[in-house]
């Protein structure tokens, strides 16, 4: 028998090296640990599938809410042009829709990168989180102002009757609360280091602070104002929310926003308590779903305002009738008729003047 040639030996050696390299690459694939300590890539695929499905549902809802927001702003502009003014509650409702539209645009970072996360610096991630918290709080505080206006109609304070003062007060309060949350959040791995960006960190202190400042305080204020309004109207034998066109809109929107914010806050608190042992891929996917639920509150609110608010609903019905008439008679156009208006000219003749 002949001994193997040097070329064959080197080939065998290269083959053995390639197999060891492939095993090293396989070990570098991100996997999760189950309860038995076994690693499985299927868990990652299943968790990403859950996040992707939630992303698809929210994308469909966000597209319709974007159309609704544009039509709502158009409706408010047309009302202002026709009447040269907007009612006080309509001004607040218009500002609320504007903030929800801005929050809808801010949520596009989740739509674009899920099931993965945005990869940016610590400063960029903190700025994104601060902006989202500020806009979200502005929407909630405007609901508090609407509850105050519905309770104290007209408002007893002269400054609160000015839309500019109210908007400035809402923005200033939201910025201060968001700065407090940003201080609790703190820099994670340095402001200039790039990493995956999470909208809200999974920590107990931050989750508890966000639950109190961004959920409980605004809705406790709303609840207190609503109770005062009910007592006031009960003593005067009047109607509270049903007596105003904006009452049903306010009540429906505030309930939807409360449920979505409550769900997200509870999931964030639960994730913060589980983060001590490390979050698995399913818990991280559930946090992503809760984030989509939070943003869905804004989308559903815009659709509800469009269908419940009477002036907006009437404008939508008018636009639908015009579109239906155009679709029924697409080739029927009005003929170009040159109608000459009668022109009557009275002249005095010389005989009439002399007589």
**Residue range(s) defining the domain that contains residue 118:** 40-317
Q: Report the distance separating Cα 183 and Cα 339, nearest Å.
A: 72
Question: 206 falls in which pLDDT band (50, 70, 90)?
Answer: very high
Question: 239 falls in which pLDDT band (50, 70, 90)?
Answer: low
Q: Is the pLDDT of residue 276 over 90?
A: no
Residue 38 CA: distances (Å) to CA of 41, 42, 55, 279, 282: 10, 11, 29, 16, 16
Token readout for 97 is: 């829709």
* 76 within a domain of the structure (yes/no): yes
* 209 within a domain of the structure (yes/no): yes
* 269 within a domain of the structure (yes/no): yes
* 35 within a domain of the structure (yes/no): no
* 29 within a domain of the structure (yes/no): no
Across 2-6, 45-49, 188-192, the highest mean pLDDT is recorded for: 45-49
- Give the total number of structural domains in the chain: 1
- pTM (2 d.p.): 0.78
Q: What is the pLDDT of residues 228-237, one digit of tens each?
A: 878 877 777 6
DSSP secondary structure of 76-137: HHHHHHHHSS--HHHHHHHHHHHHHHHHHHHTHHHHHHTTS--EEEHHHHHHHHHHHHHHHH
List Cβ neighbours of 52 (8 Å cut-off, separation of 6 or more). 114, 115
Question: 157 falls in which pLDDT band (50, 70, 90)?
Answer: low
Q: Is the pLDDT of residue 166 over 60?
A: yes
Supply the mean pLDDT for the chain: 79
Query: How many CA atoms, within 13 angstroms, populate the side-chain half-sphere of residue 187?
Result: 10
Q: Report the distance separating Cα 105 and Cα 99, nearest Å.
A: 10
* 301 within a domain of the structure (yes/no): yes
Instruction: For residues 82-111, give the mean pLDDT.
Output: 87
Q: Which of 86-90, 104-108, 309-313 shows the lowest mean pLDDT across its residues? A: 86-90
Q: Please report, to the nearest 10 degrees, the dihedral formed by the alpha carbons of residues 158, 164, 168, 170 taken in order.
A: 70
* 338 within a domain of the structure (yes/no): no
Q: Is the pLDDT of residue 4 over 50?
A: no
Q: Which residue has better confidence, 122 or 28?
A: 122
Looking up residue 223, the CATH number of its domain turns out to be 1.20.1070.10
Q: How, if at all, do strands 119-121 and 194-196 pair?
A: antiparallel
Q: Is the pLDDT of residue 202 over 90?
A: no
Instruction: For residues 168-188, give the mean pLDDT.
Output: 89
> Which pLDDT score, from 0 to 100, does residue 219 have?
94
> Which pLDDT score, from 0 to 100, does residue 64 have?
95
């Amino acid at each position: 028998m002949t001994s193997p040639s040097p070329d064959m030996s080197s080939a065998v050696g290269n083959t053995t090296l390639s197999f060891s390299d492939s095993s090293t690459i396989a070990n570098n694939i991100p996997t999760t640990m189950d309860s038995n300590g076994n690693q499985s890539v299927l868990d990652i695929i299943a968790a990403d599938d859950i996040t992707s499905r939630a992303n698809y549902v929210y994308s469909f809802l966000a597209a319709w809410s974007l159309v609704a927001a544009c039509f709502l702003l158009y409706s408010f502009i047309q009302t202002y042009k026709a009447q040269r003014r907007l009612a006080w509650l309509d001004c607040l409702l218009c500002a609320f829709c504007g903030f929800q539209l801005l929050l809808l645009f801010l949520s596009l970072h989740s739509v674009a990168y899920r099931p993965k996360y945005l990869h940016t610096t610590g400063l960029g991630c903190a700025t994104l989180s601060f902006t989202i918290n500020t806009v979200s709080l502005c929407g909630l505080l405007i609901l508090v102002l609407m509850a105050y206006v519905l309770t104290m109609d007209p408002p007893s304070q002269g400054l609160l009757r000015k839309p500019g003062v109210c908007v400035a007060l809402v923005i200033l309060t939201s910025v201060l609360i968001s700065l407090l949350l940003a201080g609790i959040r703190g820099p994670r791995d340095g402001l200039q280091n790039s990493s995956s960006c999470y909208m809200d960190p999974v920590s107990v202190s931050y989750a508890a602070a966000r639950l109190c400042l961004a959920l409980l305080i605004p809705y406790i204020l709303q609840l207190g104002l609503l109770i005062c309004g009910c007592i006031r109207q009960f003593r005067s034998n009047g109607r509270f929310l049903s007596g105003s066109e904006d009452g049903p809109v306010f009540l429906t929107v505030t309930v939807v926003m409360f449920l979505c914010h409550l769900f997200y806050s509870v999931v964030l608190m639960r994730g913060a308590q589980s983060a001590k042992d490390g979050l698995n891929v399913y818990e991280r996917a559930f946090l992503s779903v809760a984030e989509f639920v939070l943003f869905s509150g804004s989308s559903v609110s815009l659709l509800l305002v469009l269908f419940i608010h009477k002036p907006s609903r009437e404008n939508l019905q008018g636009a639908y009738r015009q579109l239906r008439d155009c679709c029924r008679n697409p080739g029927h156009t009005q003929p170009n008729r040159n109608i000459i208006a009668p022109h009557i000219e009275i002249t005095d003749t010389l005989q009439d003047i002399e007589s």
